[in-house]
Structure 1
């Protein structure tokens, strides 16, 4: 079974302090939703839409919007600031750019800054 991709990713808190998950597919959204404790109306809608998308009844972009709203409802939506991922003095190459664009786990920016 292939993944159902959407873009841009939705960044959500995880159970690990200081770590966010950048979700960019329906299956990842469903996995995250099942870990959340609050299960309000937006959560229920997002779960149903994930199931519908997995059988190609709904487009992944619809799931992305519902997942984003459910993350807000849960208090798990994370707003990330861009962060330099390359070492000083190193010229970015194609591989660096690929790794940065595919990163699924990122360090959260401090709330103080």
Structure 2
């Protein structure tokens, strides 16, 4: 009984952080939990399509994450970054897919859009 309550609380917490960082901005393709229990840590993955250039979309998402209380990322690649070691906040990663690239299991990103994958654990 305690396990399920903690799992429900953890899901609610990850979902609230996803809302605070704007993970669901744009057209949502996937919003799902995975793991937890014996399958490893509980994770929330949100995949969206957003209008604009991938670099600009990534920068806007990073700005929203930092505004929500995360420290700026120390290492930034052109298409992804991670936020780890932020006390009291879950680990968060952002990956972007430019127009024409394929988001695994979700297809090719349409012209003029950017695919964004936000993962929280």
Is the TM value for this pair above 0.5? no
Bigger relative contact order (CA 8 A; separation at least 6): 1
Write 1 or 2 for the structure with the bigger share of strand: 2
Higher helix proportion, which one? 1
For the aligned pair, the TM-score class normalised by the smaller chain equals under 0.3
The structure having more radius of gyration, on CA atoms, is 1
